[in-house]
Structure formats: structure tokens, C-alpha cells
Amino acid sequence: MTTTDPWETLRAATRARVGLGRAGDGLSTAENLRLAAAHAQARDAVHTALDVDAVVAALGDRAGPVVRSQVADRTEYLQRPDLGRRLAPDHGLTEGEYDLSVVIADGLSARAVADHAVAVVDALLPRLEGWSVAPVVVALQSRVALGDEIAAALGARMVLVLIGERPGMSSPDSLGAYLTWEPRAGRVDSERNCVSNIRPPDGLGYDAAAEVLAALMHEAFRRQLTGVELKDTGAALPPAAG
């Protein structure tokens, strides 16, 4: 006799762990092993160093300097978020006049950056025709706010930080995109816009993310602000499935 699992339809629609079943008072051995594997992937995402050479090579002639925060090592990065927001003094950045600075930051998942960051840049820049874009900076041991100091040093009016997000138990490779108008030290999160969970095929695709970001950027320039007062009205979002 064939038994239909009522949870299968829901499992097929989400990466979340639902309807796992049990063995006695605990999870089955198979689910425990899958959970342990996911936990290991999340830890690896946090602790694995970014392959900087590969990212710079993929950027080609768009690549700019590689900089660091004031963090000494990964342990300090996890313990001192404040130092991850401050630019090391020997950064070597040169001030110019740019509409936009793009910063690729390792954050909490180098895997997300390695897998998705350059593809987002590839999808976004053609949508910003006529904009003056600074060479793309790669930032190590970086928090989101480090992009503010980088862009200020470059003389950019806006900064986009593409950063590895905190890994979840089903999403070790999620990339976040943070947009800040008039970046400078001291900006707070309420002054930014974020497009999260960029990680096709399980999250937002590159073209969809680029469309939302470009729409937000054009509106940010028109209104000269980002953050809680700048809303994504949904006009740039892909249509819902029928």
C-alpha cells in the first residue's frame, strides 16, 4: 500500500525544516545527520577565508584596491564588530568624484561572496548607464558600515556593499546588498536600504536583485536619501507566479 506523506508538498516549496518526524523522543538518525551537516556548512561559511585573487580576477578591469578593517584576525572579527566597521589606516584609497562606490565585503560568509557578488555587479552596472562608478573595492574582515568609510575616502555620493550574510541552517551562501546615500563614518542602519537573500536558485536571482537595486538607486539620487524613508514600492519586483 502506498502512503502519501502530507508534508511533501510543503517541503518541496521551502528550504526550511518542516515535518521532520521523530524516532522516539528525538529526531531520526537521518535528520540528525542532515542537521549536523548543515551546521558544519554554516561554520565553514563563517570561518573560511575569501579567495581574494579569484574575486579580483573575476572583476577584471573593474577591480580596485583590496582593503582591510582594523580587525587583526577572524577571532577578533567575531568578538569585535566595532573594529570591523573601521577602515585600516594604510588603505591607500585615492579620493575622486564618483556617483557610486561598490564594495565587495567578506562579512560572515565568504562562500556567498565567492558564489554571487561578481554576478550581481555584472547584472547591476549595465542598469546604471551614465553613472560614474569607482573601481570595485574588495574589503576583508568587513562589516557593512566599513563601506561608509571606504566610499567617503573615494569621494562617492552613494555606496553599495555586497556582503556575506550570517549563515542560516539552510542558507550558508546568502548575499546581502546594502545601499547608503552620502556615506560617512557614523551612519546607522536606519539610513540604509537592504536587498537580502541573493542566492539563486534558492533565493533572489541576480537580475531580480539588480532590478530592485537599480530602482532604489535612481530614486535615492532623485530624493537624495536612503533608509526608512525610501521604500521599494514593488514596481521593480518580478511578477508573482500565476
Note whether 54 and 125 are within 8 A (CB).
Answer: no
Annotated binding site: 144, 165, 194
- Burial track 165-194 (b if 16+ CB lie within 10 A, e otherwise): bebeeebbbbbbbbbbbbbeeebeeebbbb
Residue 39 CA, distance from chain mean position = 20
Quote the DSSP letter at residue 60. Answer: G
Annotated binding site for adenosylcob(III)alamin: 144, 165, 194
Note whether 154 and 134 are within 8 A (CB).
Answer: yes
Cα distances from 138 to residues 26, 96, 129, in angstroms, run 45, 18, 22
Determine the Cα–Cα distance for residues 214 and 179; give it in Å rounded to an integer.
Answer: 10
Determine the Cα–Cα distance for residues 215 and 83; give it in Å rounded to an integer.
Answer: 32
